[in-house]
Each structure stands twice: as C-alpha cells, then as structure tokens.
Amino acid sequence: MEKKVAIIGVGQSTFVRQYPGSIRELAFDGFKDCLLDAGITAKDIGASVVCSAPEYDKQRSPAGVFAEYLGLNPQPTFYVESLCSSSTTGIRLAYSLVKSGLHDVVAVLGFQKMSEISSSESQERMGRGADIQWESPFGTMMPAYYAMYARAHMEKYGTTPDDLALIRVKAATYGQINDRAVYRKPVTFEMFKDPENIMGRPVATPLRVGDCCANADGSSCIIVASAEKAKSFCKKPVWIMGLGSATTSVNLAGRDLFSGLSAAQDAARQAYEMAGVTPKDIDVAEVHDCFTIAEMMAYENLGFAEPGEGKELIRGKETYKDGSIPVNVDGGLLSKGHPIGATGGSQVRTIVLQLRDEAGDIQVKDPEIGLVHNIGGVGLYGNVTILGR
C-alpha cells in the first residue's frame, strides 16, 4: 500500500434538527472536535477547503468567513460543492494539494444548516439539484427520484419494500447508540406494517417515511496530511489508498441504468484499481443511505453483492457489525441525519475511527481496509474513497 497521504484527524458536530447558532459557530464545533483529535493547532494547517451545498445560506462565500472564525487567516481557503458528496470531493482535492506538494496539511470542512428553511422548501431546493429546466417543473424531489430507482430495482430483481425496511431497522439499531445522531429512537419491522405508524406512510411510492433520512444541521472536519507530517503529528495515521470519482447525466432521460447508480460503479472501479484491492478486501464500509434503496444499490454497485443480490445481504444480516461486510454501523444517514455538506466527512470519520480501533460500541473486529461511498444528487456525482491503516 502506498503511504503518501494520510488522514491525521477527524471530527464532527452532533447532528441536530435545529442548530442553536450561526453557520460559523456550527463549523467551529466540527473543527474543534477534529483539532482535539489530531492534537494540532490552526497554525499547523496550510490551507482549508470548505464544502457544502450553497443554496441554504444567506452568507455568500462561507469559506472566507470560516477561515477568520476558526483562526485560519492568512492561509488560503476555498469552497467546493458537489451536492451531498461535497466533502468527499473536498477530500479528493485535499489529496491532490498534498500529493502535489503545494500544502502539507489541509483541513476539509463540511457543513450544512438545513434548518434555515422549511422542510417543503428544502425538498424544492434539493430537487433543484436535478435538472431544473426540464424535470423540476413536473414537481420532482429527491425521494421521488430514488423511488423511481426503487421501483425499477424491485421490478428487475424482486426486491421488496420489506427488504428496504430491514435496512432502516439495521440503521436504527446503531443510530440508537450513536450520540452524534439526530434520530436515536428504535425502529422495528412491525412499524412499517402498522397503518397508525408514520414509518409506513407513503412519501413517493414505493418509498415510505421510514425509507428516508432526515434533514439535519451539522459539520464535519477531516485533516489530510503528507506522510512526513503524519509521522510527526500522529500515532495512528490512516492512509488514503484509493480515490474514485465519476458523474452521469443530470437528467434521468440521459441515463441507461435504473437499478443502480453508474457514477457509483465507475467511482468504485477507479478506487479499487488505485488501491489495488477488491470488494472482498473491504472490512468495513460507510455508504450513502439517503434512502434505504440507496444502500441496497450501494451493496451491488460496490461489488459486495452481485446485481440483484443485495437483498440477500440484508436478509442474512451480513451488513450488521458482526456480519461478513459491516455497512453503516454508525447508523448511516438514515439515523445520523444528512446535513448535505457535512455528510461525507462524517462517513470518513467513522471509517477512520474503525481503522484506529477507536469506534467504541460499534467497533468492527480488527479492520484493515475501509470504504466510503458518498453520492451527490440522484447519482449525479459518485465518490468512493478507500482507506487503510
């Protein structure tokens, strides 16, 4: 394994329904958690990359505002976005900044304060992450797009709404013990069958309330460093082994695959090749479960299961902590909540803690290689990151 670029610090805020502060204060929470983890100061950071989806904030160009608030002046800072995958795009950028030698320590700071607007306004804005000229005028929203994938997956492979419910039940199993998660209540399979229970209420058929992650406010921070800095600052560096990133047509009319996400497949192929590993080598994974169907497709797009056989993994509890390929044992987006720009950083944090053997109650036994799958929009952007200890 190439040991050139490392992650030397990880942090995140608690993800909450409504953060009682401004966006710079929210960013401070994740940043502070990360600096304490890394044991470094703001002066050690050569540049920062700020990641979010911009349409939630009144503040234009938050990177410059955060740099001042976090004590990162006069170092350079800039903003990247790729919708819900913004912070792993930030990791990709930080990797290239470090690998090129331009900077030796880079902070990747993701954030989102979704509670600035109402839930239906949020649905409308999220929907505008798709094609606003040709699709949004029909009244689209993220759950409905993913529902179209769910319908196609069910039709082609015989996946059922019950299989999707099992994914939510797994998420809640771990969400209950994650003190940074927004949704910490238990979810049972029976709740989906109870007409009185909100979990089974349709949102966009065949997806129900229980199939959807919640909006949240949150921030995350990851410190990426050169091998030299990693060795001087850090006892347990985690190495970036593979990076994959791909896109597809924004308009569904321009796509051919509806039972999986082609950008995830392409990104996975690149990341495995760069890391020199195969799906069998992955010991623990975080996947982008914005909806239950998204986790099901991730099993298949990442090669943990053959196309159409993802349902066998969840039916057999193979993606639980003690299964053959633990997935989202921190509760995933379904439990943690999905503060757009902070999400990828939170996924990376979980895998880094796992590889350092510091994941507490959710620790997987002795993992050596972990994977993060982070998707932007309806599979418009796909980022896959492979980490090793």
Contacts with other proteins: how many residues (CB under 8 A)?
Answer: 40
In angstroms, give the least distance from the CB of 374 to other proteins: 24
Asked if 128 touches other proteins (CB under 8 A), the answer is yes
Asked if 134 touches other proteins (CB under 8 A), the answer is yes
Asked if 53 touches other proteins (CB under 8 A), the answer is no
In angstroms, give the least distance from the CB of 130 to other proteins: 10
Asked if 377 touches other proteins (CB under 8 A), the answer is no
Cα dihedral 264→167→349→325 (10° resolution): -80
- Residue whose CB is less far from other proteins, 154 or 225: 154
In angstroms, give the least distance from the CB of 256 to other proteins: 9
* Residue in 24, 92, 113, 151 binding other proteins, rule: CB under 8 A: 151
- Residue whose CB is less far from other proteins, 31 or 291: 291
- Residue whose CB is less far from other proteins, 203 or 352: 203
Asked if 140 touches other proteins (CB under 8 A), the answer is yes
Which DSSP string corresponds to 93-149?
HHHHHHHTTS-SEEEEEEEEEGGGS-HHHHHHHHHTTS-TTTTGGG---HHHHHHHH
87 closest CA partner among 1, 11, 2, 28: 11
Asked if 133 touches other proteins (CB under 8 A), the answer is yes
324 closest CA partner among 307, 332, 312: 312
- Please give the positions annotated as active site: 84, 338
* Residue in 107, 191, 204, 268 binding other proteins, rule: CB under 8 A: 204
Q: CA 55 to CA 183: how far, in whole Å?
A: 24
**Residue 74, preceding peptide bond in cis (omega within 30° of 0):** yes
Q: With contact defined as beta carbons under 8 Å apart, do 22 and 221 qualify?
A: no
Give the range of 147-155, 214-222, 311-319, 371-379 binding other proteins by CB under 8 A: 147-155
Q: With contact defined as beta carbons under 8 Å apart, do 318 and 325 qualify?
A: yes
Distances (CA, A) of 3 to 7, 225, 275: 11, 11, 11
Give the range of 43-51, 120-128, 173-181, 355-363 binding other proteins by CB under 8 A: 120-128
Asked if 164 touches other proteins (CB under 8 A), the answer is no
Sign of the alpha-carbon torsion through 191, 193, 197, 200: positive
Q: What is the SS3 assignment for 43?
A: helix
Asked if 74 touches other proteins (CB under 8 A), the answer is no
Element (H, E) at 383: strand 381-388
Asked if 148 touches other proteins (CB under 8 A), the answer is yes
How many C-beta neighbours within 10 Å does residue 186 have?
Answer: 10
Asked if 210 touches other proteins (CB under 8 A), the answer is no
Near other proteins in 231-270, by CB under 8 A: 251-255, 258
In angstroms, give the least distance from the CB of 128 to other proteins: 7
β-pairing verdict for 369-376 and 381-388: antiparallel
Asked if 143 touches other proteins (CB under 8 A), the answer is yes
Which DSSP string corresponds to 250-299?
SSGGG-S-SSS-HHHHHHHHHHHHHHT--GGG--EEE---SBHHHHHHHH
In angstroms, give the least distance from the CB of 254 to other proteins: 8
Give the range of 202-210, 223-231, 286-294, 312-320 binding other proteins by CB under 8 A: 202-210
* Residue in 139, 158, 186, 276 binding other proteins, rule: CB under 8 A: 139
Q: CA 312 to CA 158: how far, in whole Å?
A: 11
Q: Which residues are near other proteins by CB under 8 A?
A: 118, 120-121, 123-124, 127-128, 131-141, 143-145, 147-152, 155, 202-207, 251-255, 258
